[in-house]
Amino acid sequence: MFNDNKVSRSVRWALVMGVAGVSCSMPLYAQQAAEANDEVVEERFERVQVTGSRIRRTDTETASPVHVVTAEDIRATGFTRIEDLMATLPQLEMAGQSSFLANATGVANLDLRGMGVNRTLVLVNGRRLQPGGAQSQAPDVNQIPIALVERVEVMTGGGSSVYGADAVAGVVNFVMRSNFEGLEVSAGVAGYQHSNGHSYMRELQDTAGYEYPTGSGFDGETFTIDLVGGSTFANGKGHASVYATWRKNEEVLQADRDYSSCALNNSGTACGGSATAENPNFYFMPLQNGDPDYDREVYWALTPENQFSPDATSLYNYAPANHFMRPNERYTFGSFLEYEVNQHFRPYVETNYMHDRTVGQRGESGIFFEGFEFDINSDVFTDAQRAQLQEQFPGEDLVYAEIGKRNVEGGPRRNSLDHNSYRIVVGADGLINDMWEYDVSFQYGTTSSIRVAENDLFVPSLAQVLRAEGAEVCGEDCIPYEIFTYNGVTPEAAGGLGGVAMLTGYTRQRIVNGFISGEMDWGLPSSSYNISAVIGLENREVDFESIADEVYQQSLLTSMGGPIDSLRGGYNVREVFSELSIPVLEDAVAVDRLAIDLGLRYSDYNTTGSESTYKVGVDWTINPDYKIRGSYNRAVRAPNVEELFSVQSQGLWVGNDNCAGETPQFTLEQCINTGMTEAQYGNATTSPANQYNGIFGGNPGLNPEIADTYTLGLVANPFDRFNFTVDYWDIKLESSIGNTNPELTIDQCALTGNDQFCDRIQRGPAGDLWRGNESYVIGTQENLAEEHFRGIDVSANYMMDVLGGRLRASVNGSYNLKKETTTLPGVDDAQYDCSGIISATCFPQPEWRHTANLNYQSSGIWDAGLRWRYVGGVDYVGDTDELIGSGLSSFSFFDLNASFAISEIISLQAGVNNILDKTPAVVAGVNSSEGNIIPGFHDPLGRYLFTSVTMRF
C-alpha cells in the first residue's frame, strides 16, 4: 500500500530478529535486511498479512503492536512444549493449566496480561483453534507441535473487530511451516538437573520427622522425534508439506525436590499436612434423636496403643506422592497442501491431528471426615476405646464418628487424561481482478477427551467395610477396613475399596468464512494512494458435550468434593466484518506518511443477542526514523458454553472462613450475620486443608463482557542497526464473567449483613463450611466484576559486526502500571490492585519483567547465545506468610545455547537454561499453587539441559 522507507525496513528487521526477545540465533533474512541499509531497496515489496488485520500491506507493521518469535528463537530455548516457550514472554502470565499441576485438566492454556485464558484468542495460520476438551473452553496449545512453528505473532490489545469474540487481551497467532522444501529429521533429549540444598525446608522437615531428597540428580527426561517434509509439484503450481512428531516426558514427583517434599502450613513456619492421616483422627459426638450433637463433639486421634487421645493429632504429608511435572506422551500428524489452478483459483487444505495422554497423580485418597454411626458396644471398638467413649458420653449407646483417614495402603490417586484433536481447513483464494482478491474457507475442528479417576475410595462400600451401624454385614468376601486399630488397614482391604469414575467430552467448532480484500480505485485528495478495504462474512458454531458417569454425578468417590454433572450446549454466531486502511497524507512537514485504520464487526449470537465491535488506528510516520502509532479497540467476549449451561453443583474453593477458629477475625454479631450461632462462635473449626464447600455452575442469563483497549506507541530507528519500540496499553473490562469469591461473600456478609451476600451462605450443624455436604457458599457465574489493566511494553535491538561474525543484542520488557480488579462494584473492600503484588488473591505481578539476549553468529559454522530472564520483585499483601516476609525479591535466570554445523546436512544444538540452578521462591501454603512454589512465575525444577541433532536433505 505504501512505498518502503527506512522505518518500515527497520521494523521489518526488528520483527524477523524476534522483537519478543526470546531469540538467540539470527535467521538469514534478518542478516540480509540488516545489510540493506546502504543498498537500493525495491520500491514495492510483496504484500503480507500481519496479525491484527486482514488487509495485506507492503510493510509488516500495523497500528497495533505485534511481537514476533521466530523458529530460530524457539529452537534456541530448547523447549519442547509451547507453554514453556510462551512463559518466557513478559506479556504472558502462566497462572492457568500447565504440565506443572498435578490436579489438572491435561491441557495448556495461554493467558495474555493475566486477564484469563478465555480472554486470549489463539489462532493457527490466522484461524481459530478449537476448545481443548471436556474440562476446557479455552484452546489447548498442546495441539501445536513446536517443531512446526515458523513464527509466533503476539498482538497485545483487543482484536474482536478483526477476529470476533475472545480477543479481549489480545491474539496469539501460530504461523506454521507450510512451505517447507526437502526433508528434515530431528531427534532430541532434554531434562532437569537440580542440586538439593534448601536449608530452611530441610530444617522444617527434620523437625516434622519427614524424609527429603539429598544430592543431585537428573530427571524429567524428555525425548522428541520430529519429521518434516515438503516439495513442489505440477511444475511449481502446487506445494505439499507433511509432518509427524513424537514427544514423551517422564514424571517428576514433589518427593524429588527438598523444597517441595513436605506441604507447608499457611504461615510457612512448619511442615503441615492433612488431618486425614495414615492412622486416623476422629470427631466423636453422641446421637440425639438420630442427629449428631455437635455441641458435645470431641476431636481425638488414634495412638499406637489403640487409645483415643486429644493430644496426639497426626498429620499426613500428602506432598511427596504428588506430581511436580506430569508424565506425558504426544503424537501429532498433519499436512498443508495448496495448488494454483490459475491466478483466480488457488485451493488449499490444512489438516492437523494430535493424540495426547498424561496422568495427574495426587496424594492417596481417604475418608475425608465422612460421618458414620457406631454402636458403642460394637466389636469394632476395643474395650479400652469403649470405656473412653462411655466416659465421654455417659448413658449413650450410639456415637457419630467423622473419620479422617488417609488411604496410604492403597497408593496415590490418579487421573488419566486423554485428548484427541482433529482440525481441517478447506478453502480457496485468488484474484478477482487487478485490484481485488478473495479468500473463502470452511474450518472444522473437534477435540475428544477422556478423564478417568482411579484408585479413589468408593463411598457406597465404606459403611459396610467399616462395619458401621445400619450397614450390610461384612461377609466372607468382604475385608474389613480396620480404622480403630493402629496400622490395622491392610493393602488388601484398601484395594477392595478402589473406585473408578469417567468423564468424557467432545467439542466441535465449525466456521465458514469468506472475505474480499483489495484497493479502491480512489483515495483522499490529500494522498496519492488508494484506500484499502476488507469486507467479509463469518458463521461460527460451537458445540460442547461433557458426559459424566454415575460415579461422578453422584460424587461416589470420597475426594471428589461434590457431584459433577453432564453438560450439553452450544451457540451459533453470524457475523459481518469490514476493515478500511485510509492513506491520509504523505511527504508533508513532520509527516512522511499518515494513515488511519478502521474496523467494524457486527455479531449476532443465538444466546446473548447482537453486539458490535470496532477499532480505530492511527499510523503516523514522522520521518524515515520515527513512527507514532495508536489504536482504540472495542472488544467483546460472549459467555462460553460452560459459563452459560453448566449444572450448578457442589465443589471446593480455597481460602479462609474468617468466622471460624478459636479467635475469629470478626465479632460475634458479625458472624451471626453469616449464619453462625452464639454457641458455635469460637468453636467452629477451620478446614485443615483451607478447602471449603461451594455451589458453582452456569447462568443462562449472562451477558457478554465489554472491553475498551487503548494503545499508543513510538517506533524509532535513531541510528544504523539500532531500533526500539515503546508502547503504552490500557485495557478496561466491564461486566466481567466470573463467580464472586466465596471468602469475599463471607466477609461482606459479616461486615454489612446484606442479604445479597448472607443468603449465599449455608453453614453446617457445627457452624463450619467444610464438613459434609450440608454446608457451602454459593458462587455461581455472574456479570459483576470490573478490571482495569495498563502498562508499557519496551523492545530494543542492536547489531554490530565483530571478529568476522555478527553480534546482536535485544531486549523485550514489560512494565506493569495497574492490574486492578473490582469484584463487587461499589464496595470499597472488593477492589484490589495486583500490580507489584503477591497475595492469596493475586498471582504475582512484578512491575518490571524482561528477557534480554546476546547472540554471536560466526560465518555460518557455529553460533552461540546468552539469555537473561529477569522477573522483578513483588510486595506481599497478607499477614500469614512468614516465608515471604514483606515480599519476593527479584530473580534473574541465565540461559546459554549453541549450535554447530557438523556437515552440510547435519547440525547439532545444545544448551542449558537456568545455568545457576536457581531454586524458585518458596512460599507458604496460602500462596503456593503447587509444591510450595508458584509454577509459571519462576523456573520450577532447576537447571534444564537440552540437546538435539537435525539432518536436512
The pLDDT score that the predictor gives to residue 51 is: 76
Judge whether 368 and 278 are in contact, CB under 8 Å: no
State pLDDT tens for residues 867-925. 999 999 999 998 788 888 889 999 999 999 999 999 989 999 999 999 999 999 999 98
Q: What is the largest CA-CA distance in the chain?
A: 103
**Can you give the length of the chain in residues?**
953
Given a cut of 50, whether residue 42 has pLDDT beyond it is no
**Is 939 contained in some domain?**
yes
The pLDDT score that the predictor gives to residue 45 is: 35
Q: What is the mean pLDDT of residues 328-345?
A: 95
Q: What is the pTM of this model?
A: 0.86
Q: Which residues pair with 331 in a beta bridge?
A: 246, 355
First to last CA, the chain: 38
Q: How far apart are CA 733 and CA 726, in angstroms?
A: 23
Q: Kindly provide the residue ranges of all beta strands, DSSP E only, lying in 387-478, ordered along the sequence.
A: 398-406, 412-431, 436-457
Given a cut of 70, whether residue 47 has pLDDT beyond it is no
Q: How far apart are CA 864 and CA 854, in angstroms?
A: 9
Query: What element of type H or E holds 464?
Result: helix 459-466
**Is 41 contained in some domain?**
yes
Angle at 307 between CA 305 and CA 312, to 5 degrees: 90
Q: Which residues pair with 161 in a beta bridge?
A: none
Judge whether 364 and 407 are in contact, CB under 8 Å: yes
Judge whether 6 and 797 are in contact, CB under 8 Å: no
**Is 681 contained in some domain?**
no
| Grid cell at residue 192 | 532437569
CATH at 809: 2.40.170.20
DSSP string covering 518-561: EE-S---TT-SSPPEEEEEEEEEEEEEEEEE-HHHHTT-BTTS-
What does the DSSP 8-state code read for residue 16?
Answer: H
**Is 504 contained in some domain?**
yes
Judge whether 586 and 529 are in contact, CB under 8 Å: yes
235 CB-contact burial (10 Å; exposed 0-12 / middle 13-18 / buried 19+): exposed
Label residue 6 by pLDDT band (50, 70, 90): very low
State pLDDT tens for residues 547-578. 999 999 999 999 887 788 888 889 999 999 99
Residues 6+ apart with CB under 8 A from 35: none
Q: How far apart are CA 693 and CA 566, in angstroms?
A: 20
Which is more confident, 858 or 515? 515
Judge whether 550 and 556 are in contact, CB under 8 Å: yes
Torsion angle, CA of 390/391/393/394, rounded to 10 degrees?
A: 80
Residue 349's nearest CA partner among 424, 454, 436 is: 424
Given a cut of 50, whether residue 62 has pLDDT beyond it is yes
The pLDDT score that the predictor gives to residue 61 is: 58
**Is 179 contained in some domain?**
yes
**Is 678 contained in some domain?**
no
Q: What is the mean pLDDT of residues 402-413?
A: 94
Residue 34's nearest CA partner among 58, 15, 61 is: 15
Given a cut of 70, whether residue 34 has pLDDT beyond it is no
**Is 903 contained in some domain?**
yes
Domain count for the chain, please give it. 1
Averaged pLDDT of the chain: 88
Judge whether 242 and 335 are in contact, CB under 8 Å: yes
Q: What is the mean pLDDT of residues 649-660?
A: 87
Distance of CA 337 to the CA centre of its chain: 32
The pLDDT score that the predictor gives to residue 33 is: 34
The pLDDT score that the predictor gives to residue 23 is: 33
Residue type, 178: S
Residues 6+ apart with CB under 8 A from 353: 332, 333, 334, 420, 421, 422, 423
| Grid cell at residue 638 | 460472549
State pLDDT tens for residues 478-522. 999 999 999 999 999 998 898 999 999 999 999 999 999 999 999
Which is more confident, 503 or 11? 503
Label residue 97 by pLDDT band (50, 70, 90): confident
Given a cut of 60, whether residue 98 has pLDDT beyond it is yes
**Is 204 contained in some domain?**
yes
State pLDDT tens for residues 248-296. 999 999 999 999 999 998 888 999 888 899 999 999 999 988 889 988 9
CA distances from 68 to 77, 173, 717, 813 (A): 15, 10, 18, 14
What is the span of the domain harbouring residue 518?
A: 6-266+320-364+414-457+500-650+694-740+779-952
